Amino acid sequence: MAIMTRMSDIIIPIIIFFVVGYGMVSGVKTYETFLKGAKDGLKVVIDIMPTLIGLMVAVGVLRASGFFEFLGVWLAPVTEAVGLPSQILPLLIVKLFSSSAATGLVLDIFKTNGPDSYAGMVTSILMSCTETVFYTMSVYFLAAKVTKTRYTLTGALLATLAGTVASVALARWML
């Protein structure tokens, strides 16, 4: 493990020096290009800020209202039948919108059930197998000015379903 830590301490500066050196050899004004990229990045952040605030507020309202807990209790018979603990259902929904809000739910699940419990194992695997679909689509499509998303949402939701199934299967196999 110590070797990996040392390697990561060395690799990042090497990559930075390589990029700067390659830019200098190629005749690119590296610093000016960096500043232009930073300005463009800041413009993108400002453009997507209203979308991000809207997503965060919506998730916060649903969480504070108790809607997610109600949904988890209401759908518990279905989710428990397929091996998905009912307390993970709110996590699945929130994860579609916000990873940071989902992390708060993960901590709640860990406090309630423990990280080594079946629910904790499913939660841990689920967080790494799924993506913040709506957040990612809104940020990247807005930044790239994409108006026709075609099959992106369908594909992303199917990938989330596959990640959820894989999480349940792996957690069962590990216990």
Token pair listed for 84 = 């998905």
174's tokens: 């590990």
pTM, full prediction: 0.67
pLDDT per residue of the chain (175 residues) written in tens, 0 to 9: 677 778 878 888 899 899 888 988 998 888 888 899 899 988 888 887 887 788 778 877 887 898 887 887 888 888 888 888 888 888 888 888 878 778 888 988 999 999 999 999 999 999 988 888 887 887 788 778 888 888 988 999 999 999 999 999 999 888 7
Cα dist from 77 to 16, 21, 72, 135, 172, whole Å: 53, 60, 9, 29, 18
pLDDT value of residue 45: 81
Give pLDDT, residue 166.
92
Q: How many residues does the chain have?
A: 175
For the chain, the structural domain boundaries read 45-174
Would you state the pLDDT for residue 49? 82
Identify whether the C-beta of residue 96 lies closer than 8 Å to the C-beta of residue 134: yes
Supply the pLDDT for residue 48.
Answer: 76
**C-beta separation of 72 from 98 below 8 A:** no
Q: How many CA atoms lie within 13 A of 68 on its CB side?
A: 19
